[in-house]
Amino acid sequence: MGATQEGRKSPTYGADDRVLDGNVLAGSLGEVFGVEITSAHVACAGCGRRQAVAELVVYASAMGSVARCRGCGHVMLRVAQVRSEVVLDLQGCSSLRVAGEG
Amino acid sequence: MARVTWQPAYLVSRKEETADAVTLVLGVPGWPGHLPGQHADVRLTADDGYSTQRSYSLATPDHGAEVALTVQVVEDGEVSPFLARELAIGDPVELRGPVGGWFVWHPRSTRPVLLVAGGSGVVPLMAMVRARHESGGGAPMLLAYSVRTPDDVIYADELARRAELDDGLTLVLVHTRRAPNGSVRPVGRVNRSELVGWASELGPNLDVFVCGPTGFVDAVSDALVDGGVDGRSIRTERFGPSGG
């Protein structure tokens, strides 16, 4: 089981319901990595906070998604679907840890 | 793990749950199985090649080649009104899944579970309630389900039956706009003392799953953390009407 940081608080990003979370990235990232990625842990390049991909604050649009750190709001990950390609920008992640099988 | 790809599926049956929620049972010959809490992406392709996709939670535990999705209709949406009302029995769709591995409950777990649902956020949590029943598991489980009015309760009959028959399962309905006659709890949003009360009733080593609209999930998880529940035990899933 992964773990979130203790005593975490959700930043308020307004009542905009287009703000989702990283669970919504499961399908598109699954196609890229071929493994379940929402339970992988990423560390924020801005503040260092370690969190599951599922916990990121995601702004989804028809063009793609932007995922921000739940702690500091730093952009950690961008995903766009461009015709048949999925384009991924991971600049805001200082590490990505994926559990191996077994 | 095998790469998750699009698979052909077809509509087997549909059930009206409320005025704007419909459960679709799809036949998916190549379905690899799933855990409660996971979802599936549905892709529709028009004759001219235009295609669009949406993600829906799986409403039942793994039943082999049949999967059930409960679709909340977004009236001006592009996909949900079509899926809910126009897709005919036998019609094809494409399905990708299961997807997601974070917001899942393992039916073998014996740890107490607090499930908090806002509106159609009940769907993946219902898969957990059903999985507990089907696996004969004894984990103490409390489902707190927030709805606007009694007419909005998805799975109402089955939930009432489960609450009566399933040992160790507790159902709490929270009405935010209109409650049934004779209801003890005043109408209003779920509050911190209720949440903390349920958590402490269930005891230590608790797992918490919260699913609903973003504002609901943020409010509930913040209230639980403020009330002393370990944030590491809380798993959340947010959805919005953007899907349509």
Nearest to A21 among B4, B215, B238 (CB): B238
Q: How many other β-carbons are positioned within 10 Å of the β-carbon of residue A35?
A: 18
Distance from CA of A91 to the nearest CA of B (A): 23
pLDDT reported for residue A12: 39
**Angle between the B156-165 and B122-135 helix axes, to the nearest 10 degrees?**
40
Phi, psi of A82 (to 5 degrees): -115, 105
pLDDT at residue B44, as a whole number: 92
Q: What is the 3-state secondary structure (H, E, C) of A13-81?
A: CCCCCCEEEHHHHHHHHHHHHCCCCCCCEEEECCCCCEEEHHHCEEEECCCEEEEECCCCCCEEEEEEE
A30: contact with B, CB 8 A cutoff: yes
Question: What is the pLDDT of chain A when averaged over all its residues?
Answer: 82
Q: Do A36 and B100 touch (CB under 8 A)?
A: yes
Write the ipTM: 0.85
pLDDT of amino acid A99: 84
How is B116-179 classified by DSSP, letter by letter?
Answer: EEEGGGHHHHHHHHHHHHHHT----EEEEEEESSGGG-TTHHHHHHHHHHSTTEEEEEEESS--
How many CB atoms are closer than 10 A to CB B157? 9
Strand, helix or coil at B103?
coil
**What pLDDT, on the 0 to 100 scale, is given for residue A1?**
35
Which residue, among B215, B208, B198, has the nearest Cα to B236 in the 3D structure? B208
Candidate from B55, B100, B232 with C-beta closest to A6: B232
> Reduced to 3 states, what is the DSSP secondary structure of residue B43?
strand
Contact status of A24 with chain B (Cβ, < 8 Å): yes
pLDDT at residue B77, rounded to an integer: 86
Chain A nearest C-alpha distance from B230 (Å): 6
Chain A residue numbers with beta carbons less than 8 Å from the beta carbon of B99 are 26-27, 30, 36
- Cβ of A81: how many Cβ atoms within 10 Å? 15
- pLDDT at residue number A30: 84
Q: What pLDDT score does A102 carry?
A: 55
- What pLDDT does residue A17 have? 45
Q: What angle do CA A97, A27, A13 make, to 5 degrees?
A: 75
In this complex, is the C-beta atom of A4 within 8 Å of any C-beta atom belonging to chain B?
A: yes
User: Which residue from B20, B26, B17 is spatially nearest to B96, judged by alpha carbons?
Assistant: B26
Give residues 42 to 81 of A whose Cβ lies within 8 Å of B: 52-55, 60-61
Cβ–Cβ under 8 Å, residues B25 and B13: yes
pLDDT at B43: 93
- Residues facing B173 on adjacent strands: B145
Pairwise CA distance, residues B33 & A53, whole Å: 23
Per-residue confidence (pLDDT) for residue A4, from 0 to 100: 38
Sheet of B113-118, strands arranged across: B169-175, B141-147, B113-118, B207-213, B234-239
**Cβ of residue A38 closer than 8 Å to a chain B Cβ:** yes
* Closest residue on chain A to B1 (Cα): A35
Q: pLDDT for A4-47, tens place per residue?
A: 333 344 443 333 447 899 998 998 888 888 889 999 999 999 99
> Phi, psi at residue B125, to the nearest 5°?
-70, -30
Residues of chain B whose pLDDT is less than 70? 1-3, 240-244
Q: What percent of chain B has pLDDT over 90?
A: 86
Can you give the pLDDT at residue B3? 67
